[in-house]
Amino acid sequence: MSEKRKLTWTRREVLKGIAGAPLVGAVLWGGATKTKQKAKEEEQLLEALNIKAVAPPPSGSMSGDPLRIGIIGFGIRGKQLCRALGFAQTSWIKEQAEAAQIDPLNKQLQTFLEQENLNVQITAVCDVFDAHAEDALASFNSNENKIKRYKNFQELIEAPEVDAVLIATPDHWHAPMAIAALQANKHVYVEKPMTHNIAETYQLKDAAAESSAVFAVGHQHRQTQSFLTAQDVIQKNILGHISLIQANTNRNDDNGAWQYQIHPRANPNSIDWKQFIGNAPFTEFNLEHFFRWRKWWAYGSGLSGDLLSHDYDRINCVLKMGIPSSVSSSGGIYTHRDGRNVPDVFQANMEFPGFSTGGSQEAGKELGMTLVYSATLGNNYGRKTLLMGHDATMELGNSLTIFADHGSTRFQKEIEQGKMKPGSEIYSYDPTAQEVDGMSSATTQYFADKGLLWTYRDGKRVDSTHLHLREWLSCIRNGGTPSCDIKAGFEEAVTSHMAGLSYKLGRRIDWDDTTQQLVPIRGIDFDEALLANVEKVS
């Protein structure tokens, strides 16, 4: 190209050459303006709300001599607790490795392998079923970890090589075992509900008070980041006065309805049936009762003790509202008429007439709250837990979302100025937004949504049970009180039993906060009614 030709640009050519440049400028301006404006609005909103989604400092040091743990009950939950402590059965590791190969999104093995070493040994196991106990021996016995089987829980508790026990048995054994361990000054981590009837709830409370051992109840969601964030939301009174809370159980699969598998090796010779029965009404050997014990009031607590207990404690750890003044329950066996006597559709209305989370309107206008727990084992549409306040609604699970309310007093100005849109999100905390997890079943998803399976620390997925056990171990080693201590356990157990009693008796159950007792009903023995192995007591 010659110099001469270059100099022959016409004005038209120049325009056609450079006309695109202003367009690039326009797009840059548009993009920058939009993002800046959005960031500014978000910043203003977050500043106004000032919610802190910060993880708590980890519980104390795990150094020192290894703590020696005895595991009582090595069934489904016992195995999960051992994994959270860092001990997985050989068969589980193999299964998960294969599952991760098929589905790269399945992170269960990865989460387990990345778990912190809690510096514990599992030195003892007690399970009334030989196959379970032998599984623990075969998987955990090594040069660094010597484990011994005890045929009776009392012997395990008394064993000098046991410092602390995990209790993951059917519900009717929780309190007798926990009380025996506390009396022997052995630390206790017991699964929920912590008791099976009213009388032993008080006995366990006394035993915990008199013992120097550390006591914790297995409500692991207390470690979930979203619940800690929710506590900050309540403290800052962002929702205004909460008048209604709804919490739900939505399940629709065999596992979720407690139709667990029956082990092929199970027979009267491999199961210590008498020890399984314990203080429950005697029944002849029955494999269904043994493996699917949650379906009968004699050993389990139905939806009230099994799942309402979780949902109640999820709310209680955020609001600290204590025991309801009354509970009315209803429901029935509507979708699993398979011989069970606990309901599979269940609703409980829990009243807290004197409770307030704080308000934004004139003093004295707002007081009192209802917690509605609604459960079905025949449908798994994901109804969320909702905390409904005058100013906003909080949707709470593994994630947390807040929606401004149209009638809000606190946010009236922001709504009028268009800074907040009623009904749309004003705050959202979702640790999983950039993480997709492989799920193994509908029930797993149900638990994960409720913050019961795992949470996130520094962007890494952590088993919430692992954190909960860590907190208990830290209290044993360094002092302190676990987040789900005997007080929280007592409130959870009493509330669950009130709900169960109300269902069985078909009437309202009242709580007297002054005497710290259930209000008696003439002619009714509450524990007799609760333990009766029938659907309803009329």
Partner 1 sequence: MERMQVSTKALTALTVLRIFIGWHFLYEGILKLFNPNWTAKGYLISAELFTGFYEWLSTDSMIGIVDSANIIILIAVGTALILGIFERSAVVLGIALLLMYYAAHPAFMSSPQLGAEGNYWIINKNLIEAAALAVLYQLPSSSFFGLEVFRKKNKTLKSVEL
Burial of 261 per CB tally in 10 Å (0-12, 13-18, 19+): exposed
If one asks whether residue 32 binds partner 1 (CB under 8 A), the answer comes out as yes
Distance in angstroms (rounded) separating the CA atoms of residues 147 and 157: 14
Find out whether 426 and 403 touch, Cβ atoms under 8 Å.
yes
Nearer to partner 1, 363 or 433 (CB): 433
For the CB of residue 4, give the shortest distance to partner 1 in the complex, in Å: 12
If one asks whether residue 28 binds partner 1 (CB under 8 A), the answer comes out as yes
Question: Residue-wise over 461-490: b if at least 16 C-beta within 10 A, else e?
Answer: bbbbbbbbbbbbbbbbbeeeebbbbbebbb
Nearer to partner 1, 437 or 485 (CB): 437
If one asks whether residue 425 binds partner 1 (CB under 8 A), the answer comes out as no
Query: Scanning the structure block, which residue is given the tokens 């490795």?
Result: 97
If one asks whether residue 479 binds partner 1 (CB under 8 A), the answer comes out as no
**Angle 478-482-484 from CA coordinates, rounded to 5°:** 175
Q: Residue 27: in which H helix or E strand, if any?
A: helix 20-49
For the CB of residue 233, give the shortest distance to partner 1 in the complex, in Å: 21
Nearer to partner 1, 29 or 334 (CB): 29
Stretch that binds partner 1, among 169-177, 251-259, 427-435, 522-530 (CB under 8 A): 427-435
If one asks whether residue 30 binds partner 1 (CB under 8 A), the answer comes out as yes
For the CB of residue 424, give the shortest distance to partner 1 in the complex, in Å: 18
How many Cβ atoms from other residues are within 10 Å of residue 533's Cβ? 13
For the CB of residue 7, give the shortest distance to partner 1 in the complex, in Å: 11
Stretch that binds partner 1, among 3-11, 239-247, 401-409, 514-522 (CB under 8 A): 3-11
If one asks whether residue 9 binds partner 1 (CB under 8 A), the answer comes out as yes
| Residues within window 241-270 making contact with partner 1, judged by CB under 8 A | none
Stretch that binds partner 1, among 15-23, 161-169, 205-213, 246-254 (CB under 8 A): 15-23
Nearer to partner 1, 434 or 538 (CB): 434
Sheet architecture: strand order including 517-518: 425-429, 400-404, 392-396, 385-389, 242-250, 369-376, 345-352, 326-332, 509-512, 517-518
Which of 411, 449, 355 has its CA nearest to residue 239? 411
Spatial neighbors of 184 by CB under 8 A, at least 6 apart, are 157, 158
If one asks whether residue 436 binds partner 1 (CB under 8 A), the answer comes out as yes
Nearer to partner 1, 114 or 161 (CB): 114
If one asks whether residue 5 binds partner 1 (CB under 8 A), the answer comes out as yes
If one asks whether residue 17 binds partner 1 (CB under 8 A), the answer comes out as yes
Stretch that binds partner 1, among 28-36, 239-247, 281-289, 473-481 (CB under 8 A): 28-36
**Angle 524-529-530 from CA coordinates, rounded to 5°:** 135
Show the binding pattern over residues 49-88: x = contacts partner 1 (CB under 8 A), - = does not.
----------------------------------------
Distance in angstroms (rounded) separating the CA atoms of residues 73 and 88: 15
Q: How many residues does the chain have?
A: 538
Position among 7, 57, 64, 104 found at the interface with partner 1 (CB under 8 A) = 104
Nearer to partner 1, 18 or 363 (CB): 18
Distance in angstroms (rounded) separating the CA atoms of residues 495 and 518: 10
Query: Scanning the structure block, which residue is given the tokens 């399976």?
Result: 453
Stretch that binds partner 1, among 1-9, 205-213, 394-402, 462-470 (CB under 8 A): 1-9
Distance in angstroms (rounded) separating the CA atoms of residues 301 and 295: 8
Q: Which residues pair with 125 in a beta bridge?
A: 71, 149
Distance in angstroms (rounded) separating the CA atoms of residues 59 and 190: 19
For the CB of residue 431, give the shortest distance to partner 1 in the complex, in Å: 13
| Residues within window 272-331 making contact with partner 1, judged by CB under 8 A | none
Show the binding pattern over residues 105-144: x = contacts partner 1 (CB under 8 A), - = does not.
x---------------------------------------
Nearer to partner 1, 23 or 363 (CB): 23
Residue 236 main-chain phi, psi, to 5 deg: -90, 5
Nearer to partner 1, 28 or 113 (CB): 28
Position among 4, 7, 11, 23 found at the interface with partner 1 (CB under 8 A) = 23
If one asks whether residue 334 binds partner 1 (CB under 8 A), the answer comes out as no
Query: Scanning the structure block, which residue is given the tokens 């007592």?
Result: 490
C-alpha atoms less than 13 angstroms from C-alpha of 298 in its C-beta half-sphere: 18
Position among 4, 7, 20, 264 found at the interface with partner 1 (CB under 8 A) = 20
DSSP at 271: B
Count of residues that interact with partner 1, criterion CB under 8 A: 28
Residue 75 main-chain phi, psi, to 5 deg: -90, -145
If one asks whether residue 1 binds partner 1 (CB under 8 A), the answer comes out as yes
Q: Which residues bind partner 1 (CB under 8 A)?
A: 1, 5-6, 9, 13, 16-21, 23-24, 27-28, 30-32, 34-36, 39, 104-105, 433-436
